[in-house]
């Protein structure tokens, strides 16, 4: 059971449809393993200024088919290490969606928010209530809450810490 509130607040970054894992972290950076290197090259495939401007606590939004392409885990890791706390999209590629949770980033489907918000809006995500508030517009958007065990993934930092916790380590 989830003990602490899972509420995230930050500035919204907004991208369009069909953002692939190569847009998020181009393959030429796949040899990097250090978190700061992944962060420094995050979104280099479509917005070279992103990595220098993103801040810890920011929230990432995109249109349809976010994360299609190769199933490498480094793409969501680059977002996480760059400071992104939540990823919201109209729809996700299945493996990217699961990789987000596996590394401890909530991935939420909320098409109306993506359509109605603007980059730079301040938003607050309440994972337990299933509500995103856009403070710039004064609007709330509902999303389907992740299952309880996936919320535990988020609280513990991802799948591996979750499994270690389940095994009593």
Could you report the per-residue pLDDT of 40-65, keeping only the tens digit for each?
999 998 998 999 999 999 999 999 99
Q: Cα separation of 86 and 65, whole Å? A: 16
Domain 10-123 has CATH 3.20.19.10: yes
Sign of CA dihedral 25, 27, 30, 31: negative
pLDDT at 78: 95
Sign of CA dihedral 28, 72, 85, 104: negative
pLDDT at 169: 65
Residue ranges per structural domain of the chain:
10-123
pLDDT in tens, 97-117: 999 999 999 999 999 999 999
Cβ proximity of 121 and 137 under 8 Å? yes
pLDDT at 72: 81
Q: How many CB atoms lie within 10 A of CB 16?
A: 12
Mean pLDDT in residue range 20-45: 88
pLDDT at 106: 97
Give bridge partners of residue 86 from the DSSP assignment: 59
């Amino acid at each position: 059971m989830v003990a602490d509130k899972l509420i995230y607040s930050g500035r919204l970054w907004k991208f369009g449809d069909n953002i692939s894992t190569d847009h998020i972290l181009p393959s030429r950076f796949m040899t990097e393993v250090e978190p700061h290197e992944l962060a420094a090259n995050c979104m280099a495939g479509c917005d070279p200024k992103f990595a220098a401007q993103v801040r810890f606590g920011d929230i990432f939004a995109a249109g349809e088919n976010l994360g299609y392409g190769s199933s490498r885990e480094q793409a969501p890791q680059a977002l996480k290490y760059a400071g992104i706390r939540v990823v919201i999209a109209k729809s996700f590629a299945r493996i990217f969606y699961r990789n987000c949770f596996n590394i401890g980033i909530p991935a939420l489907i909320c098409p109306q928010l993506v359509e109605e918000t603007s980059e730079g809006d301040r938003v607050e995500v309440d994972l337990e209530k299933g509500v995103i508030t856009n403070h710039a517009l004064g609007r709330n958007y509902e999303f389907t809450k992740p299952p309880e065990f996936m919320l535990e993934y988020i609280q513990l930092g991802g799948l591996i810490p979750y499994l270690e916790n389940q095994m009593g380590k």
